[in-house]
Amino acid sequence: MIRLKNISFLWPLLVLLCCSAQKANAQTADPKATKETKKLYTNLHTLWGKALLFGHQDDLAYGVGWKYEEGRSDVKDVTGDYPALIGWDAGGLERYSPNNIDGIPFSKMRQYIITTYQHGGVTTLSWHMDNPYTGKNAWDTTSAAIPAILPGGKLHARYKASLDAFAKYLHSLRDTNGIAIPILFRPFHECTGSWFWWGAKQCTPAQFKSLFRFTVNYLRKDKKVHNLIYVFNPADFDTPDTYMERYPGDGYVDVLSFDTYQYGATDKGPAFRESLRNRLKIQERLAEEHHKIAAIGETGYVEIPDTQWWTNILWESLKGFKVSYVLVWRNAGYRPVEKDNHYYAPYKGQVSAANFLQFYQIPEVMFLEKARKSRLYQ
């Protein structure tokens, strides 16, 4: 793949010159997707393999040592720029909570999403939905929930009520002109794992596909939600067959992604890099075969103790592959209950901050300023 150097001032022109063949393949799974949603997907498809959008979970709401400071971001504190992509979680809507799973008021989250859109950035939503069978959290795997919430199941009405609440919130995500804001929606994430109630040990592949399809159909047809770009998201896999075992079909998916994290001491970095590259190779081939784009839904290295992690591990893993975006997890800081430090992007003065700035300066890496110039919704 050709490496481009010192091209930031040419970015809008480069976007316009991207090949039209990619645009021809950029069809949203929802044929009734809004104009802005279709344009975002088309532009992401056009940029796929040419630019990497950098994302961070909960970026605008809090960081290490601060919370709800207007205009602040740990990423901005280090680079002078915001992420191009910001992730949030819808967990809590299903129980009509005023706050999401991370304690962020949904009203604040709405405003952050609107602000991101107005500045040309992109929003992605995951959903750590409570187990609808037990009422406990998403990690409760004590009961087989999926058969009960599928059509004909005794809790089907309860599940539809959760989707109703989600759809109502989605319909509220509009700019000052009333335009529905496009959202990358990543439901039932890490589906090949077994730590969530929708995981591989909790349901058959057929049941999972049925749940995914019902959810998409209900949102599209019954709730008239047409501002979603749907993201399929396994966790561990080592073959194309493993990756696709729970794939619901091309008519229900726009983006292929997966989640992966580095664990352990810094000397585990090269092995993580090699594993990540092997998975990216599989995913990229599948994305091309199915005319989708490929991304990394979640990744990171907690506390980032490797001073060169951003360029030597993350970028060296991604370089040469077509990756639409990568999102690192949230900067919760010190958690008194868990008694740990929980952050995945550097804050000012953190040991990897200088290297993160080097990562920011890589021509192919896109933060908010480049995203704004690329006019992703036009």
- Catalytic sites, residue numbers: 190, 298
Structure tokens at 69: 């400071």
Q: Residue-wise over 87-126: b if at least 16 C-beta within 10 A, else e?
A: bbbbbbbbeeeeebbbebebeebbebbbbbbeebbbbbbb
CB 32 within 8 A of CB 226: yes
CB 196 within 8 A of CB 138: yes
Judge residue 71's burial from the number of C-beta atoms within 10 Å of its C-beta, 0-12 exposed, 13-18 middle, 19 or more buried.
exposed
DSSP annotation of 83? B
| 229 backbone dihedrals φ, ψ, rounded to 5° | -105, 120
The partner residues of 341 in beta bridges, in order of sequence, read 334
Q: Do the strands 52-57 and 228-232 form a parallel or antiparallel pair, or are they unpaired? A: unpaired
| 173 backbone dihedrals φ, ψ, rounded to 5° | -85, 85
Q: Which amino acid is at 310?
A: W
Q: Residue-wise over 32-61: b if at least 16 C-beta within 10 A, else e?
A: ebbebbbbbbbbbbbbbbbbbbbbbbbbbb
Nearest CA to 352 among 321, 297, 315, 324? Answer: 315
Q: What is the C-alpha to C-alpha distance for residues 362 and 312, in angstroms, rounded to an integer?
A: 13
**Distance of alpha carbon 352 from the chain centroid:** 23
The partner residues of 202 in beta bridges, in order of sequence, read none
Q: Which amino acid is at 89?
A: D
Q: What is the C-alpha to C-alpha distance for residues 222 and 309, in angstroms, rounded to an integer?
A: 45
Element (H, E) at 35: helix 35-47
Q: What is the C-alpha to C-alpha distance for residues 72 and 223, in angstroms, rounded to an integer?
A: 35
Give the dihedral of Cα atoms 98, 132, 218, 325; nearest 10 deg: 70
